[in-house]
Amino acid sequence: MKHTETHRSKHTNWLRAAVLGANDGIVSTASLIIGVAAANANHSVVLLTGIAGLIAGAMSMAAGEYVSVSAQADIESADLARERVELETDEESELNELTNIYISRGLTPDLAHQVAIQLTQHDALAAHARDELGITDISSAKPLLAAFTSAAAFSIGALLPLLAIILSSTEQTIPTVAIISLCSLALLGGLAAKAGGANLFTGMTRVMFWGVLAMVATAITGSLFGVMIN
C-alpha cells in the first residue's frame, strides 16, 4: 500500500500571502474608516475613503509582494546559475561538497558518498539546489502567485468594513465597523491557525490585538484632527 502524507508546509507560500493580505485589508481599511469617521466626516465621505483605501491597498499589496518575491526569485536564479557553472567546471569538488553535506546530516562517509554519486547522476543541479541552497518546489519564489493572492485577499478583507458602512447609520459607523472587523480578524486568525496546525486561541488573539491597536490609534488621531479642523 502506498503511504501518503499531507504536510502543511506545502501551503506556506500562498497561506502567508493570503493571511497577510486579508489581515491588512481588514485592519488598514477599518482603521482608515474609523479615523475618518472619528473626524466627523459624513457617511458618503467615509464610504468613498474606504473604497479608495481598498483600491490603493490592493494595488500596493500586489506591487509589494511582486517586487519582494521577484527579488527572492532573482537571488535563487543567480544561485542556480552559479551552481550550474560550478557543476560544469569542477564536478569533483561539487560531489565532495554534496558528500560532506550528507555526512553532516548523519550518514557514514561511504554511504554519503554513494548517495551523492547517485543523486548527481540522477539530477546534479536539483540535488545541490535542494541540499546545498535549500531551494525546493515548495519554497521557491513565485512572484505572480504571491502578488495575485495578496491583492485578492486584501480586497476580500477590505470589503468587510466597507459592508459595515453600508449596513450602519452615520452615528453607528465606528462601533459597527469595529465589531465586524474584529470578528472577521478573529475568524481569519482562527482559520490561519487551523491551516497551519497552530493553537486556535493564539491565532485569533494575536491578529485581534494588532487590529484593536490600529483602530484605537486612528480613532484618536481622527478625533484630534476633527477637533482642530472644526
Could you read off the pLDDT of 68-105 as tens digits, one per residue?
Answer: 888 888 888 887 888 788 777 888 888 888 888 888 88
Distance CA 98, CA 115 (A): 9
Torsional sign, CA 136, 138, 140, 142: positive
> Which stretches within 132-196 are classed as H helix?
143-167, 173-196
Q: What is the rounded average pLDDT of the residues 197-202?
A: 80
Q: Which three cell numbers stand for residue 57?
A: 491597498
Q: How many other C-beta atoms can be found within 10 angstroms of the C-beta atom of residue 174? A: 21
Q: What is the pLDDT of residues 174-184, one digit of tens each?
A: 999 999 999 99
Q: What is the pLDDT of residues 31-58, one digit of tens each?
A: 999 999 998 888 899 999 999 999 999 9
Q: What domain range includes position 191?
A: 12-90+145-229
Site of grid cell 453607528: 172
**Structure confidence at residue 123 (pLDDT):** 80
Inside any domain, residue 57: yes
Q: What is the rounded average pLDDT of the residues 158-167?
A: 91
Distance CA 19, CA 17 (A): 6
Question: Which residues fall within 8 angstroms of residue 101, CB to CB, at 6 or more apart?
Answer: 112, 131, 132
The torsion angle over the Cα atoms of residues 206, 49, 222 and 171, rounded to 10 degrees, is -90
Inside any domain, residue 106: no
pTM here is 0.71
Q: Which three cell numbers stand for residue 129?
A: 539546489
Distance CA 150, CA 144 (A): 10
pLDDT band at 139 (very low <50, low <70, confident <90, very high): low
Inside any domain, residue 202: yes
Inside any domain, residue 183: yes
Distance CA 136, CA 188 (A): 28
Site of grid cell 502524507: 5
Residue 215's Cβ-count burial label (10 Å; 0-12, 13-18, 19+) is buried
Question: Which residues fall within 8 angstroms of residue 168, CB to CB, at 6 or more apart?
Answer: 176, 177
Inside any domain, residue 4: no
Among 122, 6, 163, 143, CA closest to 71: 143
Q: What is the rounded average pLDDT of the residues 138-163?
A: 84
Q: Considering only 4-8, 131-135, 138-142, which range has the smallest mean pLDDT?
A: 4-8
pLDDT band at 140 (very low <50, low <70, confident <90, very high): low
Round the average pLDDT of the chain to a whole number and report it. Answer: 82
| Residue 145 pLDDT > 60 | yes
Inside any domain, residue 124: no
Inside any domain, residue 95: no
Among 151, 158, 184, 179, CA closest to 47: 158
The total number of structural domains that make up the chain: 1
Inside any domain, residue 78: yes
